[in-house]
Amino acid sequence: MPRETVLVGSPNSGKSLLFNRLTGLSQKVANFPGITVRLGRGELLGHGDEVLIDFPGTYSLAPISGEERIASDGFQAALARPELQRVLCVVDATRLGKSLSLALQVLREGARQGKDVLLVATMTDAFPPGGGAFDAAGLSVALGVPVFPVSGKTGAGLDTLRGALAGAAGVPVPPRYAELQDEALQAEAQDLMARFGAPGALLLRGQTRLDGFFLHSIFGGLAFFALMAVLFQSIFTWAAPAMDGIEAALAWGADGLVPLLPSTLLKDFVSDALFGGVGAFLVFVPQIFVLTVIVGIMEDSGYMARAAVICHRPLRVFGLTGKSFVPMLSGVACAIPGIYAARVVESPRKRWLTYLAVPLMPCSARLPVYTLLIAAFIPATPMLGGLLGLQGLAMVGLYLFGLLAGLVVTSLVSRLSPSKDDDLPFVLEMPPYRVPAWGPLLQTALRRSKDFVTKAGAVIFAVTVVVWVLGYFPNSGEDLGASWLGGLGRWIEPLFAPLGLDWRYGVAILTSFLAREVFVGTLGAIFGIEGAEENFLPLADQIQASGMGLPSGLALLVFFALALQCVSTVAVLARESGSWRLPLSMVAAYLVLAYGAAWVAFLLASALL
């Protein structure tokens, strides 16, 4: 049976980097038995029988939020396991003050449960020349347990630590810790801090100068907007070649594979369901990768904490926190990376509110739908002396509408369900500015992309197959109107009649719950136009000719701005929030909201126009 070692440490103590260094980036995300916190698990490099388990960073074993309670209960459960031999407590050598309380609490638990405890002091490379070295030996004598000074960045001291972990069990924790009371514990932490802590002012000087710029009332705000513009732009520009590449590769694969298939049924299934349906979601992978890397750079460099400080006040008005900003901004490109980015929000309640806002952000999948409907219903009247057309203005309006809807929903929900005790107030550590560790950063982005393809992909594949089967049978895809899907469309037609929409739009809306852009393709198929995705105008003309009026068009636009029609988002939300309850209630609530708002828009437009 492999021996287990648990890693604990405060946030920003370099614990994850140390874990990656010790395990050689072999981290597998696994759920620990009995608890719902995601834990990293990996084998010690070169020693397959030593397993390391990475616990979430925490400042204390005394929890102040529901999420921290789960983590701290999980830690207690882990200690009770016979396989678990040791606890590796990570302290930041440059900022012992915030790490020592936790270290003493861990020693106390170790003494009570009879487990060995090792201390690892990280960031030893950050000591400025001439600033005095970190006294690991002295701290070790004072604590009575081994202390290993390491640098996750340069790798110094790691071989010694690895050797110690692979060797025999260490020294038991001195029994006196078992009886340590909270007050004595804090006094001891203060005393140790005074004796072994780094000369704080020396280390903080560089940080203070940079903060003077990034938190400046004017320059800090400008820097914030500039960086956000780069982030937003990068999701579109840097990911675009890869997205085009994936599309081209899929088209090439379909062209090459489909003619080789033996039967028409198989050919249609592979080209429509497999390449058309599942392929459509693979296109999002580059966006997720690029966004994860950029958000990772912002986190690792320490800038994220400053951005959160800057936009904390404005977002608080809407019940959110400063940290909700990045997920919401990402959501403007695509809700999926936005949901992943919400991991930076520690407060469970604020993260939950952020989840509510992200799918309302005007994502890029709404773009084809908006383009088609605007072309069909909004005249190309020049405005502002030709500077902006009425159509362009409508597009801007739709983007603002989505943003505003997200903020209104979160502020309403946060006011209707008042804050509970486990809502964390805004206490945010300002970590030192650092150059990111590129290897682990790219590794995380790759892992998250793979995670998206395997986990969300399974759900998307299942739904795609169901929709395809409904649309294909019983007449082999000859006539969508006569298929089961068409029958379903006629059956639900009364539902869309109040919005002035007939069965064709009903079916297109139904399929668009797979992914919004499917709306365009479905309508194209229904109107019998080949390649509707490539050229919008003929389809827009058809829609105009079909006799649908402007009020119905506006209703459709409002509906698409608000409804959560994206299987990928639902799957990722279920995975990230840990249950299907939240995404499914969001689908239902936003459907009601979207339908109601669309109906109001239809009535208003009918009365006024």
Partner 1 sequence: MSQPLWALPRGQRARVRDLSDALPAAQAQRLRELGFLPGAIVECVHRPAFGAPRVYAVAGACFSLEREIARRIYTEPLEESAHAS
Contact residues for partner 1 (CB under 8 A)? 59-60, 62-64, 94-98, 101-102, 182, 186, 190, 193, 197-198, 200, 203-204, 207-208, 211-212, 215-217, 220, 305, 309-310, 312-313, 322, 421, 425-430
| Closest CB to partner 1 among residues 63, 538 | 63
d(CA 249, CA 255): 10
| Closest CB to partner 1 among residues 321, 552 | 321
| Closest CB to partner 1 among residues 223, 566 | 223
Q: How many CB atoms lie within 10 A of CB 374?
A: 22
d(CA 426, CA 415): 18
| Closest CB to partner 1 among residues 208, 476 | 208
Strand partners, 53: 6, 41
Least distance from C-beta 303 to partner 1, angstroms?
13
| Closest CB to partner 1 among residues 256, 425 | 425
| Closest CB to partner 1 among residues 103, 556 | 103
d(CA 435, CA 302): 9
Whether residue 511 contacts residue 486, with contact meaning beta carbons closer than 8 Å, is answered with no
d(CA 543, CA 607): 22
Read off the DSSP letter of residue 566: B
Strands 147-149 and 116-122: parallel
Least distance from C-beta 7 to partner 1, angstroms?
19
Least distance from C-beta 78 to partner 1, angstroms?
21
d(CA 512, CA 504): 12
| Closest CB to partner 1 among residues 138, 200 | 200
Whether residue 514 contacts residue 507, with contact meaning beta carbons closer than 8 Å, is answered with no
d(CA 331, CA 524): 27
Sign (positive/negative) of CA torsion 506, 509, 511, 517?
Answer: positive
Token digits of residue 30: 């696994």
Least distance from C-beta 128 to partner 1, angstroms?
13
Residue with tokens 């194209």: 524
| Closest CB to partner 1 among residues 23, 99 | 99
Least distance from C-beta 541 to partner 1, angstroms?
51
| Closest CB to partner 1 among residues 385, 425 | 425
Instruction: Name the strand (E) or helix (H) holding 9.
Output: strand 3-9
| Closest CB to partner 1 among residues 212, 439 | 212
Least distance from C-beta 118 to partner 1, angstroms?
21
Least distance from C-beta 60 to partner 1, angstroms?
5
| Closest CB to partner 1 among residues 306, 504 | 306
| Closest CB to partner 1 among residues 10, 464 | 10
Backbone angles phi and psi of 60, in degrees to 5: -160, 155
Amino acid at 512: S
Least distance from C-beta 135 to partner 1, angstroms?
15
Whether residue 335 contacts residue 569, with contact meaning beta carbons closer than 8 Å, is answered with yes
| Closest CB to partner 1 among residues 25, 203 | 203
Least distance from C-beta 500 to partner 1, angstroms?
46
Token digits of residue 254: 């379909």
| Closest CB to partner 1 among residues 321, 577 | 321
d(CA 512, CA 518): 5
d(CA 196, CA 93): 9
Least distance from C-beta 427 to partner 1, angstroms?
6
Least distance from C-beta 426 to partner 1, angstroms?
4
Least distance from C-beta 199 to partner 1, angstroms?
8
For 568-602, give one letter per residue: b (16+ CB within 10 A) or e. bbbbbbbbbbeeeebbeebbeebbebbbebbeebb
SS3 at position 319? coil
Instruction: Name the strand (E) or helix (H) holding 28.
Output: strand 28-31
Cis peptide before 327 (omega within 30 of 0): no
Least distance from C-beta 142 to partner 1, angstroms?
17
d(CA 414, CA 408): 10
CA-to-CA dists, residue 167 to 7, 48, 270, angstroms: 17, 13, 55
Longest CA–CA span in the chain (Å) reads: 86
Amino acid at 221: G
Amino acid at 550: L
d(CA 540, CA 100): 66
SS3 at position 505? helix
Least distance from C-beta 193 to partner 1, angstroms?
6
